[in-house]
A = this chain, B = another copy of it.
Amino acid sequence: MFVDTTFRDGHQSLIATRMTTEDILGIIEAVDELGFRALEVWGGATFDVCVRYLNEDPWERIRLVKAKLKNSKTQMLLRGQNLVGYRHYADDVVELFVRKAVENGVEIVRIFDALNDVRNLEKSIEVALKCGAHVQGAISYTVSPVHTVEYFVNYAGELVERGVHSLCIKDMAGLLTPKAAGELVSELKKRYGLPVEVHSHATAGLGELAYITAFQAGADVIDTAFSPFAMATSQPAFETFYHVLSEYVDLPKIDWKKVDSIVRYLWEVRKKYEAYDVKMVTIDHRIIVSQVPGGMYSNLVKQLSEQKMLDKLDEVLEEIPRVRKDLGYPPLVTPTSQIVGVQAVLNVMTGERYAKVTREVKDYVKGLYGKPPAPIDPELVKKILGDEKPIEGRPADYLEPELENRKREIGLLAQSDEDLLIYAILGEVGRQYLRRRYENSLYVDWKLAEEFEGGYPV
């Protein structure tokens, strides 16, 4: 019934993913004892943040967590061909990464693509299946005239054809209304008979309402986090939903004292990272009022302020839906939210729409991100690409294998496939981490050596 996201989306949404492996290990066994179906503890931004900011080995995190779990399965979030990075990787990187993720302890792989282009998931689904993982195909939920129930159900069909074991409605921006959730879940259940999970966010107050109607419509699992890492831009709270749903169905008895002690522990963790805390005390009405997600809105305000153009905010807010329409209604999530946002600002700034376009818009129009949900305005394609033609096939087919080059570049700093992947996925950031680790190991050796030369104390 419940998947816990405290250790992935929970801290990713509320404290910039700053929870350390130590923070997690201090409580994960207690959480495991409560009997969640799975704990999402890996993937998403956690891989990057471990390496970039925490000086931690993400592979070690999943191994240590896995070793502690007796009841719940480990779950990771995988961005399809983007893996846990921010661009498409070649298939050899995808193959190695997914294999290593499963080998190191991931049992459920939730895979999604921001554009819902199944060709961006194909490879990782295939590999995850081959490795024996439970593969969950996630639908990126968004709202637009083309994103109808039928659209999502058809897309789910493509995932089902690829052999996924379960489906997830992944509403990363908290847009899913209770009405839409009910309709979508019931249609998915009817058509495919697979387990359906719902993942949403409380950002605009919609996520928790969607969970109720999704449950009424037959959803099998909802994603929640413990209250210190729930609500606001994170998931709805476990405590609330356990209490609420236990009035409808028989749930296994829960030890509320244990819940209370987990909550107290997690509050201490949250307080430690106050500097990163979103500190949001109510819903964000902007997603409802202007159809622009809160994070994107804040970025816009910052960007326009820096350029002393804050007076253009309303114009830009009106331009965003137009750009989104021109580009075939991509969901406004990373990276498309930036692509659309920056282009909208350019359109307003220059006074002529698409007089300038960013490199990213050009790549997007060329098809390098995948197939947009709706066709791009043909005039715009012509204006931007000129005589160039958009690519026809699967974006990753245009990428040369990468691993051999990466291996050569990183040399001895990578002592394992896992190390190699840190570099292959995160590039320079990965290399710096590996170098720091190498230098620290030397330092430790020197210390040992000094001690040795000085002789042991008697």
By a beta-carbon cutoff of 8 Å, the part of chain A in contact with chain B is 177-180, 204-206, 208-209, 212-213, 227-232, 236-237, 239-241, 243-244, 247-248, 256-257, 259-260, 263, 277, 279-286, 288-290
* Residues of B contacting A232 in the complex (Cβ-Cβ under 8 angstroms): 281-282
Pair B228/A282 contact, Cβ less than 8 Å:
yes
Task: Note all chain B residues with C-beta closer than 8 A to A236.
Answer: 205
Cross-chain contact A288 with B231 (CB below 8 angstroms)? no
Bound-state Cα–Cα, A312 to B152, Å = 54
Q: In the complex, which of the residues A180, A237, A239, A286 has the most CB atoms of chain B within 10 Å of its own CB atom? A: A239
A310 CB → nearest B CB, Å: 14
Q: How far is A389 from B178 in the complex, measured between Cα atoms in Å?
A: 54
| Alpha-carbon gap, A178 to B280, bound state (A) | 25
Top 7 nearest A-B pairs (CB, nearest first) are A205-B240, A239-B285, A179-B247, A231-B282, A227-B285, A256-B289, A243-B288
Chain B contacts for A229, CB-based, 8 A: 282
- Docked complex Cα distance between A284 and B227 (Å): 7
In the assembled complex, the Cα of A208 lies from the Cα of B211 at a distance in Å of 12
Assess the A289–B177 pair: CB atoms within 8 A. Answer: no
CB distance from A172 to the nearest CB of B (A): 18
**Smallest CB–CB gap between A214 and chain B, Å?**
12
Contacting residue for A283 out of B205, B230, B248, CB 8 A: B230
CB atoms of A231 and B260 under 8 A apart: no
Within the complex, what minimum Cβ distance (angstroms) separates A288 from chain B? 5
Q: How far is the CB of A400 from chain B (nearest CB, A)?
A: 47
- Residues in B neighbouring A177, C-beta threshold 8 A: 243-244, 247
Determine the distance from Cα of A257 to Cα of B290 in the docked complex, in whole angstroms: 9
Is B178 in contact with A212, judged by CB distance below 8 angstroms?
A: yes
- CB–CB B212/A282 < 8 A: no
Min CB distance A280 to B, Å, is 6
Let me know if A281 and B231 touch, CB within 8 A.
Answer: yes
Within the assembled complex, what's the spacing in Å between the Cα atoms of A208 and B283?
Answer: 12
Q: With A205-B208, A208-B208 given, name 6 new contacts (CB 8 A).
A: A177-B247, A205-B231, A205-B237, A209-B212, A212-B212, A260-B289
Q: Is the Cβ of B243 less than 8 Å from the Cβ of A282? A: no
Best-surrounded residue of A206, A209, A263 (most CB of chain B within 10 A) = A209
A-B contact pairs, 27 of them (CB 8 A): A178-B212, A178-B247, A180-B247, A204-B239, A204-B240, A205-B208, A205-B236, A205-B237, A205-B240, A205-B241, A208-B208, A209-B209, A209-B244, A212-B212, A227-B283, A227-B285, A231-B281, A232-B281, A237-B282, A237-B283, A239-B283, A239-B289, A260-B286, A263-B285, A279-B281, A280-B281, A281-B281
User: A279: which B residues are within 8 A, CB to CB?
Assistant: 281
Considering only CB atoms, which chain B residue lies closest to A254 in the complex? B289
A240–B288 contact, CB under 8 A? yes
CA of A161 to CA of B284 in the docked complex: distance in angstroms? 43
A257 CB, min distance to chain B CBs, angstroms:
8
Q: How far is the CB of A410 from chain B (nearest CB, A)?
A: 41
Chain B: minimal CB distance from A347 (Å): 21
Chain B residues with CB under 8 Å of A260's CB are 285-286, 289-290
Closest Cβ of chain B to A113, distance in Å, is 27
CB neighbours of A239 from chain B (8 A): 204-205, 283, 285, 288-289
A278 closest partner in B (C-beta): B281
Chain B residues within 8 Å of A290, by CB: 256, 260
Q: Which of B180, B231, B240, B282 contacts A227 (CB 8 A)?
A: B282
User: Bound complex: CA of A279 vs CA of B271, how far in Å?
Assistant: 14
CB distance from A277 to the nearest CB of B (A): 8
Determine if B179 and A248 form an interchain contact, defined as CB atoms under 8 angstroms apart: yes
What CA separation (Å) do A65 and B244 show in the bound complex? 39
Query: Which chain B positions have C-beta within 8 A of A206?
Result: 240, 243-244
Q: Complex Cα distance A280/B279, Å?
A: 9
Contact for A259 among B208, B240, B285, CB less than 8 A: B285
Q: Which residues of B contact A178 (CB under 8 A)?
A: 212, 244, 247
A256 to chain B, nearest CB (A): 5
The distance in angstroms between the C-alpha atoms of A212 and B177, with both chains bound, is 11
